[in-house]
Chain A
Amino acid sequence: MKLIRYAALVGILTTIAIGAMAPSPSWAVDRAEAEETARLLAKLLKAGRLVIEQNQLLIDDQQKGDKGFTPEVFEQQLVQEFRQQTGIDLSKLQSTPASLAVPPLAKELLPAFVLASKEVVRDAQVVINQRGIGYKNFIPATYGSQAAARFSKQSRVRLKQTTLGPRNPKNEPDDYEASVLKWLSSRPRAEAYVSELTDQGQTLRVVMPIYYVPACLTCHGEPKGDLDISGYPKEGHREGDLAGAITVTAPLSLR
């Protein structure tokens, strides 16, 4: 078993080392496009999580009824955050300069993810705008789960949040994800991501790590074992620890 895991890790390391190098010219272009699209989708989900995190105090403000955190406001902030992180302006996607090299597949899927995210924020309005109720559990993780699920339903690309020992059983990593997460957890924080072909080269999998920032530690930090506001035991993590990953699974025969 250990040998298999070792082999898997070696495989991952090799994949990272060769990065976007094309093992076979027959699907080289497709893979590069799918990989960049997957990377951007993961970045966009991360940006959405960040926007929720930045508005957490507003969302949980029990003194205020209508928070004004509408799907449109969320979209504006998401577009702004994504532009800061990637330089890509989602509002002008079709006229993006060639230097930024947004693949056609990404031009198709990024707006679809924004739409799915807006639907999530729209659905949550009745909960967000309650006055007199503080914590509403509309947090980066629940937003992310629903946005990823909605997007995945409408697309052949599957987005998922995962971690080792997740609070939500649906976020349990599969064997591949678990191997990558274990490997990532033993390494220092980096902005790198892991990319690999599976299913005899038919499917591309991209795993982008997420690390804990101070805002996360209210629920996931110390003291370990104490219940947080949502009733889960705190994990005792520290800033910079691996929180989990966003995984993107894309069949290479997308178009």
Chain B
Amino acid sequence: MVDYDRDSILSMPHRPRATLVVRSHERGATVPRARRLREWASLLLMAFMLQGCGLIVDAVQLVHPIATNELDAICARGQVRVGMAVEPFQPFVFPAIYTDEGLRVTGLDVELVREISAALSRRCGGTKPIVPTLQLIRFRNLFVELTEGNLDLFVSSISANVPAQGRIGLAYSSPYFDEGGISGITRQPDTAKRIGEYVRRSSTKTADAHAMAQAFSGLTVAVQEGTSAQFYAEANLTGIKLILCDSLPAAFESQNPPIDVILGKQPVLDYTVRRVRKNWQLLKLDNGKPLFLTHEHYAIVTDEESYRLRQFLNDLLFRLDESGRLTDMRQRWLEDLYAYPRRAATEGLPFAAEKMPQHYDQGQCRLADNRSR
């Protein structure tokens, strides 16, 4: 005879799918053997009928709804666990640096995390503020850590509207940045000219998918693996040689083969060519505006079952937008002249150094597989 410990289930603050506590029934020894066999058989039958752990958990939740939602769990913990990419996506997330105050990370997304923490502190109403515990981890691992329940949310200029395979169990907040998009940079004036020429000849005078496919055909195009640029390129750009890189800095350094164009998030690429890699240029239209291959907006990512948290975040983003705060943040990070080490020292956030890869490496680039695109 087994028995679910109801108290244990109800007191689980933030692991709704945690293992249920099973214990031997105290009277088990006195139960007749035939009856015990029947009960075991019933349980086995139930387990067979409820194939999959999720169904069992759902069944238990139906009988004994779990009292604590993810917002209450954050309040109880006094911490909100936030993931961020260790690979830089400046100006959203800058590389971690050392400051007079110790290790810090800064950027638009970090400022957003500050807002989230402040709002959570108000929501929780305790005497102590909710502390953001930042975990700088590899971009590809953000998704894994969230689905495994090790993070409450993550931010890193994540595109919410470019379809991606394998992103299951996640959900996106309302956008906090809706002027994003996929664009390209090159250090070859001829390549920029060639792409501009194709766009000019296109009937719509914009970057329609067909014109883009032609414009990029035959070029060697690098993208950061796992980002929306990869998914876009695989879906739309036929005839390119696609190079997958572990990070944007790796794409800049790739020599073999030499890269014609790097595709990525337009605000990130724009910041990079203006401040860091000045020998590269952003692909532009004749009117001087950036050439967007598609538009995208950036959102906060949560577990799909974190409804309360997402509602809370959406409400916060609505208020930040209404008050003009989001516009100010975009202005500060994308348009103002500043250097991030200075901002890191004054407004950056500390992070859990032990979670960061000990020898973070920008990684390498490699040829994508030969699937037809």
* Contact flags B342-357 to A (C-beta < 8 A → 1, else 0): 1111000000010011
A227-B339, A231-B340 known; A168 vs B100 contact (CB < 8 Å) = yes
Assess whether B360 is in contact with A124, with CB atoms less than 8 Å apart. Answer: no
| B344 surroundings in chain A (CB, below 8 A) | 137
* Contact flags A112-146 to B (C-beta < 8 A → 1, else 0): 00000000000111110111110111100111011
Assess whether A126 is in contact with B100, with CB atoms less than 8 Å apart. Answer: no
Total contacting residues, chain A, CB less than 8 A: 31
B338 within 8 A of A: yes
A137-B341, A168-B345, A232-B339 known; A146 vs B358 contact (CB < 8 Å) = no
Q: Which of B99, B100, B102, B356 has the most CB of A within 10 A?
A: B100
Can you name the residue of chain B whose Cβ is closest to the Cβ of A169? B346
Can you name the residue of chain A whose Cβ is closest to the Cβ of B354? A126
Cα A136 to Cα B356 with chains together (Å):
15
Cα A183 to Cα B98 with chains together (Å):
32
Within 8 A of A (CB), among B234-256: 247, 249-250, 253
Assess whether B359 is in contact with A127, with CB atoms less than 8 Å apart. Answer: no
Can you name the residue of chain B whose Cβ is closest to the Cβ of A141? B100
Tell me the minimal C-beta distance from A197 to chain B in angstroms: 29
Q: Which of A131, A133, A142, A232 sits near B99, CB closer than 8 Å? A: A142
Assess whether B359 is in contact with A66, with CB atoms less than 8 Å apart. Answer: yes
Can you name the residue of chain B whose Cβ is closest to the Cβ of A65? B359
Can you name the residue of chain B whose Cβ is closest to the Cβ of A131? B361
B220 within 8 A of A: no
Assess whether A132 is in contact with B359, with CB atoms less than 8 Å apart. Answer: no
B61 within 8 A of A: no
Q: For the complex, would chain A's binding face be called helix, strand, loop or mixed by DSSP majority?
A: loop
A230-B339, A230-B341, A232-B339 known; A129 vs B358 contact (CB < 8 Å) = yes
Give me the interface of A with B, judged by CB distance under 8 Å.
62, 65-66, 123-127, 129-133, 135-138, 141-143, 145-146, 168, 170-171, 227-232
Total contacting residues, chain B, CB less than 8 A: 32
Q: Which of B97, B356, B361 sits near A132, CB closer than 8 Å? A: B361
Can you name the residue of chain A whose Cβ is closest to the Cβ of B337? A227
Assess whether A133 is in contact with B362, with CB atoms less than 8 Å apart. Answer: yes
| B356 surroundings in chain A (CB, below 8 A) | 126
Q: Which of A129, A137, A141, A232 sits near B359, CB closer than 8 Å? A: A129
| B88 surroundings in chain A (CB, below 8 A) | 133
Within 8 A of A (CB), among B194-222: none
Can you name the residue of chain A whose Cβ is closest to the Cβ of B248? A132
Assess whether A132 is in contact with B341, with CB atoms less than 8 Å apart. Answer: no
Q: Which of B96, B338, B339, B360 sits near A229, CB closer than 8 Å? A: B339
B103 within 8 A of A: yes
| B337 surroundings in chain A (CB, below 8 A) | 227
| B360 surroundings in chain A (CB, below 8 A) | 65, 126, 129-131, 133
Tell me the minimal C-beta distance from B349 to chain A in angstroms: 14
Cα A123 to Cα B99 with chains together (Å):
12
Q: Which of A143, A231, A232 has the most CB of B within 10 A?
A: A231
| A228 surroundings in chain B (CB, below 8 A) | 339
| B95 surroundings in chain A (CB, below 8 A) | 130, 133, 136
A135-B341, A168-B345 known; A125 vs B102 contact (CB < 8 Å) = no
Cα A145 to Cα B353 with chains together (Å):
19
Please name 19 further chain A to chain B contacts, defined as beta carbons within 8 Å, in addition to the given A132-B362, A135-B341, A136-B95, sorted by A numbering: A66-B359, A124-B103, A126-B103, A126-B353, A126-B357, A127-B97, A129-B358, A130-B95, A130-B359, A130-B360, A130-B362, A131-B360, A131-B362, A135-B97, A142-B100, A146-B102, A171-B100, A229-B339, A231-B339
- Closest 6 CB pairs between A and B? A231-B339, A132-B362, A231-B342, A230-B341, A132-B249, A145-B100
Cα A168 to Cα B346 with chains together (Å):
9
Tell me the minimal C-beta distance from A84 to chain B in angstroms: 26
Assess whether B361 is in contact with A137, with CB atoms less than 8 Å apart. Answer: no
Within 8 A of A (CB), among B45-75: none
Cα A238 to Cα B152 with chains together (Å):
51
Cα A123 to Cα B342 with chains together (Å):
20
Cα A171 to Cα B88 with chains together (Å):
30
